[in-house]
Structure 1
Amino acid sequence: MINQLSWKVGGQQGEGIESTGEIFAIALNRLGYYLYGYRHFSSRIKGGHTNNKIRVSTTPLNAISDDLDILVAFDQETIDVNVHELREGGIVVADAKFNPTIPEGTKATLYAVPFTEIANELGTSLMKNMVAVGASSAILGLSPEGYRPVVEGIFKKKGMSVVEKNMEAIKAGAEFFKKEAADQIGDFYLAEADGKKRMFLIGNDAIAMGAVAAGCRFMPAYPITPASEIMEYLIKKLPEFGGTVIQTEDEIAACTMAIGANYAGVRTLTASAGPGLSLMAEALGLSGITETPLVVVNTQRGGPSTGLPTKQEQSDLMAMLYSTHGDIPKVVMCPSTVEEAFYDTVEAFNIAEEYQCPVILVTDLALSLGKQTVEPLDYSKVEIRRGKLDLAAELPERVDGEYYKRYEVTEDGVSPRVIPGMKNGIHHVTGVEHDQTGKPSESPENRVAQMDKRLRKLNDLHLKYDTPVYSNAPHEEADLLIVGINSTRGTINEAMPRLEADGIKVNHAQIRLLHPFPTEELQPLMDKAKKVVVVENNGTAQLANIIKMNVGGTKIESLLKYDGNPFLPSDIHTQCKELV
């Protein structure tokens, strides 16, 4: 019996690879196992190598594994591309149709299973993925019947005969492997899971669920990888709550439409990736100067331009902070787990309304599309705060025809806010500089007063923000402080015990609020470390440079990866050892 293993299925995009991984993982999730999945796919609809790597454990985990125990291959390319990950003693289960081979010297065993042939005998080659799932269940010592609830959930609408055919395919795959590979049975049997019910979500789904819980009722957006799942989820769910989703002609329209809806009092978000964020830059400035709440989700991917649209990167950091022209208050939030993505989305709406400014919720592809086990969400933690917007306000009568002071200069920098149609609430709204009633003004004194007011809005945000920096800091004096952002959190945490075993004292800080930067929270952690290593998926050390600008950094070293793949625990372990 083993407590964890890593399983991967691969083949050509469009031939059911994703559904194979989904069925395999969902069944294990329902049995109570913890899972962490990462999908590698091509930036095209059909064709090109794709794979889904899923780590299974009886205990919580938050990173993909360095190596691989089981590789399920639907073509030779899958073996050629992924065989290097197989650990000694691992196995390859491949479709016999393409006469699979493994490189000479590979310390793994190949088993050819006729996925396609068995599926054809049962009626259609489309069921070859179910045969592969069955073979996998035999390797792990799981009953094929454990997949029945998943198969019924997917195929019941097509009739029970379709359900039974797919179950036959799973059972046939399991039986064939048991007969042909009896020598392997037992080596990969998983210890029994606890059977508890947990969620199994990608970050995008958690963001969409958080938006619904926060009271979001409108989403204008343009589809783009890796953000589209947020839109797809809300297309199905928002109508149930009286809301709607509109697919716009581009990201410029999406962002300006979101500003308009928020101006009308409707909680609204839009979501995109790097190219879309670039198009939204001017609209972010409009949100800032009109002091209209706005929530934008940016799911980072490989850039620049179209770049690597389906690969991991964290190279939008500077763009989110500095691409908007002029000076405006802006908040950039960085969840580092799927669970945080849910709660942070709720908080993004609260902050946007409390401070009347744009809020960017940033993820990366590994967090947006990586699927993780999540404990049941606690909806009692959801709090809706709308700041100085009072929908029941009895506004005073206008004096001498003066308009409502929507942009009143206040001590905390946040002005009173009304929505269109409120009696005595009439005021100008314009993207040019304006006075307290919104009337355009080029007065130097007014300009300074309005600028100062807007810029002091966020002075106290770091005091109210729950966790601007996540820290795992067991040492008062550390040899090394590892700093990361977004999805690197779990990988860093997994690398830490390995470094500790090498005699290196390690602390960990994960940036959760990128702007305004949490200097006061990060400074003490950096002060008590001999060296600081900043781990990030880009080629120009953007996070490290932001830290240097806000905290200083004579002892900062960068650990960079920008080949389109996420960090592995071994990457961090090996390279940090070299830096100490």
Structure 2
Amino acid sequence: MISQLSWKVGGQQGEGVESTDKIFSTALTRLGYYLYGYRHFSSRIKGGHTNNKIRISTKPIRAISDDLDILVAFDQETIDVNAHELRENGVIIADAKVNPVVPEGIKARLFPVPITAIAEELGTSLFKNMAASGASWALLGLPLEVFNKAVEEEFGRKGAAVVEKNIEAVRKAAEFVLELNGGPLPEFQLEPADGRQKLFMIGNDAIGLGAVAAGCRFMPAYPITPASEVMEYLIKTLPKFGGTVIQTEDEIAACTMAIGANYGGVRALTASAGPGLSLMMEAIGLAGMTETPVVIVDTQRGGPSTGLPTKQEQSDVLAMIYGTHGEIPKIVLSPSTIEECFYDTIEAFNLAEIYQVPVILLTDLQLSLGKQTAEPLDFKKVTIERGTLQQGELQPNEENKLFKRYEFTENGISPRVIPGQKYGLHHVTGVEHDQEGRPSESPENRKKMMDKRMNKIKTVSKKVTDPIKVDAPHENPDLLIIGMGSTGGTIDEARRRLDASGVKSNHITVRLLHPFPTEELAPYLEKAKQVVVVENNATGQLASLIKLNVGYADKLNSMLKYNGNPFLPAEITKYCQELNLVWQR
């Protein structure tokens, strides 16, 4: 028996690939397996090759696999595009209708299954996704009753007749492939899972859930890949808690409405991707100048311009830190797991109100849309911190004096009120202003206000939970590997392989990108012989931040990937091994 297995389904977009994966992975989750998924899809509604890859394991995993055990193909293109990933004697389950052929040089076993024919016998080709899933499930020797239960949960709302036909498609395909092979594939029998309940979700859903738990009750947003699922989740969820979602005419409106809601005392967020964040920059500057808290999610994708809307990239880092005209205080957080997407969203709302700044939650497509197993969330960890928001009755000011909304204080954080509070009257403007908010061009006031705003975030790294996440078993490692976002799990796996090969390595995921956690990171760079910075962009943006804030440029090596695909563990392992050999020479 084996402890892990990799499975992929592919076909034309709109052909049922995603629903095939959904039922298959849901049933595996019910059994207690750990899963990690990657979805490759085209930037169109229908047509174009798409595939979903799932890694299945009895132990926690946070990276896609280097190779492939089973490929389910609805068409020949899927075989042609993906067969090279198959390990020797891997399996292809293909729709017999397309007369599938294994490409030359690929040593794989082909199982032609009448997937479309089975579906059409039941009344519609729509059932072929269940036939394909059923054939896979049967070859793995897994209990069909668990799979059928997942089918019932998915299609129950459509009525008993639909459920029965889907289950019949599963049964027929399972019986066909088992007869064809003479039973399940013994070499692909998975060890039993632990049976524990786990979550299986995408990062965007975890962010949406985190927003609800944080007390967010309003989301203005404009749909964009790969951020739309945050909006879709909250459209369904916020009304249950007295909140609402508004689809705005553009991202400019979305950001300004979120700022307005926060100014009014309502926790609000918006979410977008690179093109949308470009449109938001002026509004983000307004939030910085007026010291209005707001949470903004940037789900990075391939750029520039429309770029690669459905592909992986991490190229918005410097734009999120330095993109606004002028200089404002802001916080940029970068979660690396599903659990962190949830908890960091809550922390983002707290930090926004404590420091009265825009907080950008920076994810990437793989983390946003890749479905992954997560441990049950602990809602007892949820705390709400509203900073210096004056929620009680205010004391009257001196006669004819406005409330000092932008008062100079020792830590730079001023008292904040909700509009309409008695004795809280003040002026708000995007131009430079004095302590009461009235416009001021005084050079002395300008310097004091700039210092006040910029200095107040100096303590952020002490406030943030784990500004860096450290896996450092070695005191003086040969290599220190640094990454951010979804690269974290892939680097973890590569680091373990490096250790097994005799290369002593440590790993750090940077979770706070701005203000940069210089003090926390510096000791680890000092002790490492060489440093590898792994990131999905062409210019080494994280490496640039490290050089700027920490130094050690002579030790830094950038491993960059910007072809739209996430890193594989084997790629990082190979690069680091070769670098270590060169350095030793």
* TM-score over 0.5 for the pair: yes
Once the two structures are TM-superposed, the CA of residue 501 in structure 1 deviates from its matched residue by 2.2
Identify the residue that residue 404 of structure 1 maps to in structure 2: 403
Identify the residue that residue 578 of structure 1 maps to in structure 2: 578
Please tell me whether the aligned partners of residues 288 and 358 of structure 2 are also in contact (alpha carbons under 8 angstroms): yes
Identify the residue that residue 30 of structure 2 maps to in structure 1: 30
CA distance in 2, matches of 1:265, 1:149: 45
Identify the residue that residue 524 of structure 1 maps to in structure 2: 523
Q: What SS class does the counterpart of residue 526 from structure 1 fall into? A: helix
CA deviation map 1:327-373 (0-9, x unaligned) = 11110000000110000000000000000000000000000001111
Counterpart of 2:435, as a letter, is Q
Q: What SS class does the counterpart of residue 302 from structure 1 fall into? A: coil
Counterpart of 1:411, as a letter, is E
Once the two structures are TM-superposed, the CA of residue 502 in structure 1 deviates from its matched residue by 2.1
CA distance in 1, matches of 2:191, 2:500: 26
Counterpart of 2:518, as a letter, is T
Give the 5 Å matches for 1:150-189.
Answer: 150-182=150-182, 185-189=185-189
CA distance in 2, matches of 1:217, 1:203: 19
Identify the residue that residue 208 of structure 1 maps to in structure 2: 208
CA deviation map 1:533-561 (0-9, x unaligned) = 00000011111111100011211000000
Identify the residue that residue 462 of structure 1 maps to in structure 2: 461
CA distance in 2, matches of 1:454, 1:183: 69
Once the two structures are TM-superposed, the CA of residue 186 in structure 1 deviates from its matched residue by 1.7
Identify the residue that residue 328 of structure 2 maps to in structure 1: 328
Identify the residue that residue 566 of structure 1 maps to in structure 2: 566
CA distance in 2, matches of 1:129, 1:62: 26
CA distance in 2, matches of 1:58, 1:140: 14
Identify the residue that residue 100 of structure 2 maps to in structure 1: 100
CA deviation map 1:437-458 (0-9, x unaligned) = 0000011111111111111111
CA distance in 2, matches of 1:125, 1:263: 53
RMSD between aligned residues: 0.8
Once the two structures are TM-superposed, the CA of residue 148 in structure 1 deviates from its matched residue by 2.2
Identify the residue that residue 484 of structure 1 maps to in structure 2: 483
Identify the residue that residue 416 of structure 1 maps to in structure 2: 415
Once the two structures are TM-superposed, the CA of residue 37 in structure 1 deviates from its matched residue by 0.5
CA deviation map 1:381-430 (0-9, x unaligned) = 000000000212x2222323010000000001000000011001111000
CA distance in 2, matches of 1:513, 1:205: 21
Give the 5 Å matches for 1:51-450.
Answer: 51-182=51-182, 185-392=185-392, 394-450=393-449
CA distance in 1, matches of 2:149, 2:354: 45
Q: What SS class does the counterpart of residue 174 from structure 2 fall into? A: helix
Once the two structures are TM-superposed, the CA of residue 105 in structure 1 deviates from its matched residue by 2.3
Gaps of 5+ in 1: none
Give the TM-score normalised by the residue count of structure 1: 0.99
CA distance in 2, matches of 1:372, 1:155: 22
Counterpart of 2:17, as a letter, is I
Q: What SS class does the counterpart of residue 142 from structure 1 fall into? A: coil
Once the two structures are TM-superposed, the CA of residue 183 in structure 1 deviates from its matched residue by 6.7
Gaps of 5+ in 2: 581-585
Q: What SS class does the counterpart of residue 457 from structure 2 fall into? A: helix
Q: What SS class does the counterpart of residue 306 from structure 2 fall into? A: coil
CA distance in 1, matches of 2:105, 2:568: 24
1:184 to 1:109, Cα distance in 2 relative to 1, 3 A: farther
CA distance in 1, matches of 2:140, 2:176: 14
CA distance in 2, matches of 1:516, 1:161: 57
Structure 1 runs of 4+ aligned residues shifted over 6 Å read none
Counterpart of 1:429, as a letter, is V
Once the two structures are TM-superposed, the CA of residue 194 in structure 1 deviates from its matched residue by 1.3
Counterpart of 1:422, as a letter, is Q
CA distance in 2, matches of 1:310, 1:349: 28
1:184 to 1:142, Cα distance in 2 relative to 1, 3 A: closer
Q: What SS class does the counterpart of residue 376 from structure 2 fall into? A: coil
Please tell me whether the aligned partners of residues 100 and 112 of structure 2 are also in contact (alpha carbons under 8 angstroms): yes
Q: What SS class does the counterpart of residue 445 from structure 1 fall into? A: helix
CA distance in 2, matches of 1:195, 1:498: 28
Identify the residue that residue 535 of structure 1 maps to in structure 2: 534
CA distance in 2, matches of 1:166, 1:436: 67
CA distance in 2, matches of 1:490, 1:550: 25
Please tell me whether the aligned partners of residues 23 and 154 of structure 2 are also in contact (alpha carbons under 8 angstroms): no
Counterpart of 2:579, as a letter, is L
Once the two structures are TM-superposed, the CA of residue 121 in structure 1 deviates from its matched residue by 1.4
Please tell me whether the aligned partners of residues 140 and 184 of structure 2 are also in contact (alpha carbons under 8 angstroms): no
Once the two structures are TM-superposed, the CA of residue 268 in structure 1 deviates from its matched residue by 0.2
CA distance in 2, matches of 1:183, 1:196: 28
Once the two structures are TM-superposed, the CA of residue 208 in structure 1 deviates from its matched residue by 0.2
Counterpart of 1:63, as a letter, is A
% identity of equivalent residues: 69
Say how many residue pairs are matched: 579
